[in-house]
Amino acid sequence: MNASSTSLRTKVIAVGVATAIVALMVAFFIVGSLGSKSNLKNQRIEDMATAKVLASHVGTPPMLVNLDSFHQLLIAEKQHVSVRTASGTFDLGVPIEKGVALTDATVAIKGGVLTVTSAIDSSLDPPIEFVYVALAVLLVVLASVSIADRTMNRETRERVESAVRAAERVSLGDFSVRVGGGGPEPIARLGRAFDTMATRLESFDRDQREFLADLAHEVATPIQALSGFAQAALDGTVSKDVAQSMIESQTSRLSELLDELTQLRNIDAPYNAEREDVDIEEICRTLYQEFSTVAHDAGVVLDYQCEHMSLRTDRRLVETVLRNFLTNAFRYTPSGESVSLRGEMVHDHAVLSVRDTGPGIAPEHQQRIFDRFYRTEEARDRISGGTGLGLTIARSAAFSLGGHIELDSAIGRGSTFRLVVPMGSEAPEPGERGGSESMNH
């Protein structure tokens, strides 16, 4: 049992006991004050009765000797009688101590007054039944507190034990386990946090497995083609020229894959952007020329429009981002459609965008396509699909440039990917990466 559950238990018991004691004290006070009021009243009645009897026997003129016979009979231990007349005063009974609460009754007699004074006993003994009831209440309260405490304790222990078992299963690689959010609030919060963590790990693990499967496929396809064409060239089934060109294309595919994997490895390493004055218009023109052949082969119209602007930035990173946008645009845009490359200045930012009139991306995929290994089902079905790393690499490069990526896309209406870089921006500090807004990446 941990310190917080012990202190919770102690608090519960302390509150229970304190409540019982306060309730008991209040009950004593109420009963005591009711008792002393009725005591006072009874004493007054008694004093008055005694005073009347003595007054009728005191005689005329009043004389102490006439009351002597009543002394033992009527006057109690804590009662005092005094008779005052014009000719003198006499007293009966023991004088009452000072500071004691008093009650008195005075009656007129011939030639004076007779007063009976009593000491009030202010300490009240509650009836024994009350003590029994109070003790029973105290016991019931203590028993309920103890039962509640044990129940809570057992529930907490069970929840913690189930969380520990779940954590052990997660550590063994089973990310499907969940603990749920029941039990006392702090334990419930712990359970919910655990489940969120397990869900993320499960999704990450699934992505990793899918990526490895994709990667194995990506590597296997060119290797099989390479060995097939090499064998065919040796057998003489295909001409050496055909075999050579196929071997070159498969080798370049493998080296592209290797290049993406190398870029991926660098994603998490802090990248030092190498800044220089970069002519953005020149970058657009170069990329346009580079992708013209791809566009022609794909039957897609490519155009570019770029303002003259110079940016102090890392040329290689800017090209990496735009190349990924353009590669995707041609990969997913069908023949007959178009792709546009734009470079413009908007306020203090350079905005470099690639727009296509392809299939568009559903809203539920728009956040996730920037995650490592994430590819939509449609993209997976394509023969020419990539590895799901391109946009992850692009986003990382954008952060290293001190900028971000924006996406506008709708199913059937194409997609626009934008790299937004502040003019004169500096590379962010290592902990700043990933601070994107909702539709910024």
CB of 225 to ligand ADP, least distance (A): 19
Nearer to ligand ADP (CB atom), residue 222 or residue 359: 359
Contacts 24+ apart (CB under 8 A), 121-128: 121/39, 121/78, 122/36, 124/31, 124/32, 124/35, 124/36, 124/39, 126/28, 126/31, 126/32, 126/35
CB of 388 to ligand ADP, least distance (A): 4
CB of 162 to ligand ADP, least distance (A): 38
CB of 218 to ligand ADP, least distance (A): 10
Nearer to ligand ADP (CB atom), residue 210 or residue 344: 210
Q: Does 353 bind ligand ADP (CB under 6 A)?
A: no
Among 218, 314, 356, 406, binds ligand ADP (CB under 6 A): 356
Sign (positive or negative) of CA dihedral 18, 24, 27, 32: negative
Per-residue DSSP letters for 63-88? -HHHHHHHHHHH--TTEEEEEEESS-
Nearer to ligand ADP (CB atom), residue 138 or residue 264: 264
- The rounded radius of gyration (Å) of the Cα atoms in the chain is 49
Nearer to ligand ADP (CB atom), residue 62 or residue 359: 359
Stretch that binds ligand ADP, among 79-87, 178-186, 298-306, 357-365 (CB under 6 A): 357-365
Pattern 332-351, binding to ligand ADP, x per CB under 6 A? x-------------------
Whether the ω angle into residue 62 lies within 30 degrees of 0, i.e. cis, is: no
CB of 369 to ligand ADP, least distance (A): 4
Sheet with 89-92: list strands edge to edge.
89-92, 79-85, 112-119, 102-109
Per-residue DSSP letters for 15-40? HHHHHHHHHHHHHHHHHHHHHHHHHH
Q: Please, are residues 115 and 51 in contact by the beta-carbon 8 Å criterion?
A: yes
CB of 223 to ligand ADP, least distance (A): 19
Half-sphere exposure of 142 (CA within 13 A, CB side): 8
Q: Please, are residues 324 and 441 in contact by the beta-carbon 8 Å criterion?
A: no
Q: Does 369 bind ligand ADP (CB under 6 A)?
A: yes
Q: Residue 281: which of 315, 241, 238, 244 has the closest Cα?
A: 315
Stretch that binds ligand ADP, among 204-212, 216-224, 281-289, 371-379 (CB under 6 A): 371-379
Nearer to ligand ADP (CB atom), residue 175 or residue 330: 330
Nearer to ligand ADP (CB atom), residue 310 or residue 416: 416
Hey, which residues between 374 and 393 contact ligand ADP (CB under 6 A)? 375-376, 379, 385-392
Per-residue DSSP letters for 346-364? ETTEEEEEEEE-SS---HH
* Cα angle for residues 162, 167, 171 (degrees, 5° grid): 150
Among 16, 93, 222, 358, binds ligand ADP (CB under 6 A): 358
CB nearest ligand ADP: which residue?
386
φ and ψ at 38, to 5 degrees? -70, -30
How many residues touch ligand ADP under the rule CB under 6 A: the total is: 22
CB of 360 to ligand ADP, least distance (A): 6
Nearer to ligand ADP (CB atom), residue 313 or residue 320: 320
Hey, which residues between 392 and 421 contact ligand ADP (CB under 6 A)? 392, 415
Helices and strands (H, E) in the chain, number of each type: 10, 11
CB of 399 to ligand ADP, least distance (A): 15
**Strands, E assignment, 293-412:** 301-306, 310-313, 338-346, 349-356, 404-409
Residues that bind ligand ADP (CB under 6 A): 324, 328-329, 331-332, 356, 358-359, 361, 369, 375-376, 379, 385-392, 415
